[in-house]
Amino acid sequence: MRRDAAAEDGVDMPNDEQSLAGLNPHIPHPERIYNYFLGGKNNFAVDRALAEQMLAIDPTIPHIAQANRAFLRRSVTYLAADAGIRQFLDIGTGLPANDNIHEVAQRVAPESRIVYVDNDPLVMAHARALLTGVPEGTTAYLQADLRDPEKILGEAADALDFSQPIATLLHGVVQFIPEFDEAHQVIRTLLDAMPVGSYLSLAHIAADVRPETARSMDEASASSPVVSVYRTRDEVARFVAGLELVEPGLVTASEWRPDPGADSTPVPIWVAVARKP
């Protein structure tokens, strides 16, 4: 895709033509839609059109997106400050926003190592351009799909030490694997490669917090080539079975260790932080 075509749509594109090969500005993409909900500008007209359809169904979506982003910040802070984790594997990175993982982790421990993984060329191009850490740590990038965990693990080993605990972050990405058994196996493959004392931080859209809204969203998203599924609390619980859940356990994003004075009204995202025993 030509950079001038992107610029005409109002997106500031990094100067990385090779990374942007295959980018299609005419098909809505969940990462760019999420960016729109967070108030970002890295999205196309087709993304904004679908986002507006979704907002017509549920105008609280930006609040939900912010709650999800706030959970990411709190979970990474916990992992770095309280659990002593110094290595992070973030799969399904999304477009850069405020308080990115390396910023949160390296504020606590500058030596922290972070590997960002995403299958969207736009995300990777922006990540390479914008996500730079402190000299004491490592910030690396890998273009890969969650459905290929072996590739992720193999290439992440260039930056991460798999003999030491690693936090695997799966925030808003497992929902893009529609088949439950496949999603479960992918998570198991990742966790099996991690040493004892590693953590999983998981966030997944909920089917049973606002069921009517979930069904309407499925209909609104039918035009997107990327299929996402809403799952129940029981289904998400199976993803973290056998792990030691950090208090308060499996709850909605707004209920997981909320900041003082923050709104803890349940939002339709199940989250958990769990340790590999």
The model's confidence at residue 8, banded by pLDDT at 50, 70 and 90, is: very low
The predicted model scores a pTM of 0.84
Task: Collect all residues with Cβ–Cβ distance below 8 Å to 163 and sequence separation of at least 6.
Answer: 195
The model's confidence at residue 257, banded by pLDDT at 50, 70 and 90, is: very high
Q: Is the pLDDT of residue 227 over 80?
A: no
Q: Is the pLDDT of residue 36 over 80?
A: yes
Average pLDDT on 172-191 reads: 96
Phi-psi map region of 26: left, alpha, beta (phi>0 left; psi -120 to 50 alpha): alpha
Task: Tell me which DSSP letter residue 226 carries.
Answer: S
Mean pLDDT of the chain: 85
Q: Is the pLDDT of residue 222 over 80?
A: no
In angstroms, the CA 250 to CA 143 distance is 30
Q: How far is CA 112 from the centre of its chain?
A: 19
Q: Is the pLDDT of residue 52 over 70?
A: yes
Among 148, 268, 266, CA closest to 218: 268
Average pLDDT on 273-277 reads: 98
